[in-house]
Structure 1
């Protein structure tokens, strides 16, 4: 399976490295990196992935969203010690993906490091795979389809806020889309959430945000509420700076399609 995305503007990609560079990094971090990780970064030194989730190795099948892997260097796995110190994480970990308060890490408590997922805010720790090799094999692209009953499902704003602050990207997508069918939608709250999520680290979430902005732009710009219009424009401005070309182009198209309304 092709792992790396072909994104040309990739905030996680580092300059190419050699095996000699990797040897120096292993000495610096005082850990032996998995061979499969070294093979990956020799192909491309970190970046966005051509997948959006990883299957957890446990009895009941479940997925956790992931869209990038750090490169061998800094910013990258060499920043792991500072992240560990800042967030009070165990020293035997090596962070190789994540943003803010959630991470994927190699756990070196065994001879072959396992892969774990850490969610700092909820103190959630999940063993994802027994090895980095298994982790790579379990990467996949998950898609979400909704039945009529699921589209009718209602979440409160309080429940939704909690979901939006978490890392279940498929659920974030589901909740965002479901509110488009709510006849009593609080548009001010909805546009506020769209703005907050317009810079989300997960690509799938930002793709959903630009989709709902397109679907709601005409309605928001036609109403008298200037606050909602400003929230919409701020979210679009964020997406104009998105590292993903498709999202950036979509934001540009939304603006061009509504230029007369934006100028009024």
Structure 2
């Protein structure tokens, strides 16, 4: 069976080293799941095993929306993914508890990407902390949210270029 990488344009922007954590290990995954109290989606872990966070290629840097957000009338940005690790000056999935508290996000979320005002995260509120989370957009400024995809694999398949908008 072909992976999502075989079916779509390259995911990572290999010209940038920004946001990349050290190579992902099974121990780091176990630590992250223990700290966050969740089971991370296998599609996310597969992606992070290829490169542990960083900038997303232009061809995969947006997700279309069915309604307007504070960002745009028809899409949200997805320009980077947080990896798993402790590299200084680099946000990580491990920073989710702090970011949730700092920005007033729902407690059962793992933050994947964002800039402080708007975030994309794994939403465990419906499935439970060991289930398959949906992916949602969270706007901390206007306290709104928007479901984007039923799971991380579907989210990856829906990513497209910002140039399409």
Residue of structure 2 equivalent to 1:82 = 98
Distance, in Å, in 2 between the alignment partners of 1:84 and 1:65 is: 19
Where does structure 2 lack aligned partners over 5 or more consecutive residues?
1-7
Tell me which protein shows more helix as a share of its residues. 1
Conservation of the 8 A alpha-carbon contact between 1:19 and 1:42: no
Residue of structure 2 equivalent to 1:65 = 77
How far is 1:24 from its partner? 2.0
Aligned partner of residue 143 in structure 1, secondary structure: helix
Distance, in Å, in 2 between the alignment partners of 1:30 and 1:100 is: 23
Distance, in Å, in 2 between the alignment partners of 1:99 and 1:53 is: 15
How far is 1:65 from its partner? 1.6
Distance, in Å, in 1 between the alignment partners of 2:138 and 2:106 is: 11
Where does structure 1 lack aligned partners over 5 or more consecutive residues?
145-169, 171-264
Residue of structure 2 equivalent to 1:191 = none
Could you tell me the TM-score, scaled by structure 2's length?
0.79
Runs of 4+ aligned residues of structure 1 deviating over 4 Å after TM superposition are 58-61
Q: 1:118 aligns with which of 132, 135, 138?
A: 138
How far is 1:62 from its partner? 3.1
Distance, in Å, in 2 between the alignment partners of 1:65 and 1:25 is: 25
Identify which of structures 1 and 2 has the higher relative contact order when contacts are C-alpha pairs closer than 8 Å and 6+ apart.
2
How far is 1:59 from its partner? 8.4
Provide Cα deviations, 1:116-150, integer angstroms capped at 9, x if missing partner. Answer: 10111122211111101110000111326xxxxxx
Conservation of the 8 A alpha-carbon contact between 1:95 and 1:106: yes
Distance, in Å, in 1 between the alignment partners of 2:153 and 2:159 is: 10
Conservation of the 8 A alpha-carbon contact between 1:92 and 1:108: yes
How far is 1:23 from its partner? 1.6
Aligned partner of residue 156 in structure 2, secondary structure: helix
Conservation of the 8 A alpha-carbon contact between 2:110 and 2:121: yes
Aligned partner of residue 105 in structure 1, secondary structure: strand
Residue of structure 2 equivalent to 1:16 = 23
Tell me which protein shows more strand as a share of its residues. 2
Distance, in Å, in 2 between the alignment partners of 1:99 and 1:124 is: 15
Distance, in Å, in 2 between the alignment partners of 1:123 and 1:59 is: 16
Could you tell me the TM-score, scaled by structure 1's length?
0.51
Distance, in Å, in 1 between the alignment partners of 2:119 and 2:62 is: 13
